[in-house]
Amino acid sequence: MSYKDEIKMINKNEIQKIYLLYGEEEYLIEKFVEFLKSKILNSGFEELNLSIMDGRELNVEKLIDACETLPFMAEKKLVIINGLEVFTSQKRTISESDEKMLINYIGNIPDTTCLIFYGTNNIDARKKIVKEIKKHGKILKFDKLRDASLRKWIKDRIESYGKSISTQEIAYFMENIDYVGKNGQQNLLDLDKEIKKLISYVGDRKKITVADLENIFISSFQNDIFKLLDAIGKKEVSEALKRLDHMVYQGEAIMRISATLGNQLRNLYKTKLLLEEGYSTKLIASKIGIHPYVAKKSAEQCRDFSLKTLENSLRNYLEMDLAIKSGKMKDDIAIELFIVDICTNE
């Protein structure tokens, strides 16, 4: 049974005595726990009927005492254990004897208690404690959302703030996150942070645009580097130097600008090679370890450069960096000459 099916059962007041919640999506697990709280705890008596314990420092006897204590002015009480490591064969945060005590107690949890374990990505279904929980309660897995469910979640979260977003913008959002696929590094907590940044960025404006998304997916400094490289790629010396002056005026250190510019030139070189081998921008992001948005921008920008130009630029960059660090050239003069050189030479 999925957690969505279990929510339907809980809404019918069919609440289990014990739940084991696990999986990659901590955000969904937290929401499920909050949902159970809303169904079990009566307003005004929450603290009296709620016990929360840290699984990493769990005293099993105190856990049993909490479960055995009758609820106050309510049908049930809620006992929540977060982070107990006993559901896989790899780690254990309680002793073997305490684990046996807990296993023996699971079948004796009173009807007046709902016990929740969560805070683990995986479980070992062969373990006795897992089998015992399955026998007397429910084990629910919270996987990452897929395609349509993810689109709906993004839309619903943004609309919950009173904003509107079109299908096109949602697609753009999904293209520029590292969530989808087995190698995705982000989870819904990360996406929720991005959405909060987006909401803060648009302020009182209701409609979300692609331009808004572009601005929240990358720092203003990184965007300035992209604009600098756009000008360099188009051989616009004056514009490139203006972009450099703008960053310096904003208080960015020359060496930070230089390091980031060099790093992005390396991204362009690697991206161009991988594009020629038939890689998609999503695979490129994963392979060279950069944000999907950076990979997309790199794919766009590397069209303005030949492989030979990028190779020469990287070689000249190393020479410039050495000249600065050895004291042969001042950093501001060196980077200006470097930019002029790329713009004027193939």
Cβ proximity of 338 and 320 under 8 Å: yes
Q: What's the mean pLDDT in 116-140?
A: 95
Q: 126, 141, 156 — which closes off a domain?
A: 141
CATH of the domain at 109: 3.40.50.300
Which domain does 189 fall in, by range? 147-217
pLDDT band at residue 183 using 50, 70 and 90 as cut-offs: low
Q: Provide the number of structural domains found in the chain.
A: 3
Q: Tell me: do 15 and 131 sit in the same domain.
A: yes
Q: Tell me: do 289 and 306 sit in the same domain.
A: yes
Q: What's the mean pLDDT in 237-263?
A: 90
Q: Tell me: do 23 and 92 sit in the same domain.
A: yes
List, in order, residues 6 or more apart from 137 with CB less than 8 Å away: 16, 17, 18, 19, 20, 106, 115
* % the chain with pLDDT above 90: 72
Give burial (CB, 10 Å; 0-12/13-18/19+) of 336: middle
Q: What's the mean pLDDT in 250-256?
A: 86
Give the model's pLDDT for residue 224. 85
Instruction: Render the burial of 117-129: b for 16+ CB within 10 Å, e for the rest.
Output: bbbbeebeeebeb
Q: What's the mean pLDDT in 21-28?
A: 94
Q: Tell me: do 173 and 200 sit in the same domain.
A: yes
pLDDT band at residue 346 using 50, 70 and 90 as cut-offs: low
Q: What's the mean pLDDT in 85-100?
A: 90
Q: What is the SS3 assignment for 138?
A: strand
Give the model's pLDDT for residue 282. 84
* % the chain with pLDDT above 70: 98
Q: What is the SS3 assignment for 345?
A: coil
Give the model's pLDDT for residue 160. 96
pLDDT tens by residue, 185-200: 788 998 998 899 899 9
Q: 93, 112, 141 — which closes off a domain?
A: 141
Give the model's pLDDT for residue 182. 64
Q: 200, 217, 234 — which closes off a domain?
A: 217
Give the model's pLDDT for residue 9. 95
pLDDT tens by residue, 25-63: 999 999 999 999 999 998 778 889 999 999 999 999 999
Q: Tell me: do 18 and 130 sit in the same domain.
A: yes
Q: Tell me: do 202 and 279 sit in the same domain.
A: no
Q: Tell me: do 44 and 19 sit in the same domain.
A: yes
Q: Is the pLDDT of residue 290 over 90?
A: no
Q: How far is CA 172 from the centre of its chain?
A: 17
Q: Tell me: do 98 and 40 sit in the same domain.
A: yes
How far is the C-alpha of 100 from the C-alpha of 295, rounded, in Å?
Answer: 51
Angle formed by the axes of helices 188-202 and 210-217, nearest 10°: 120
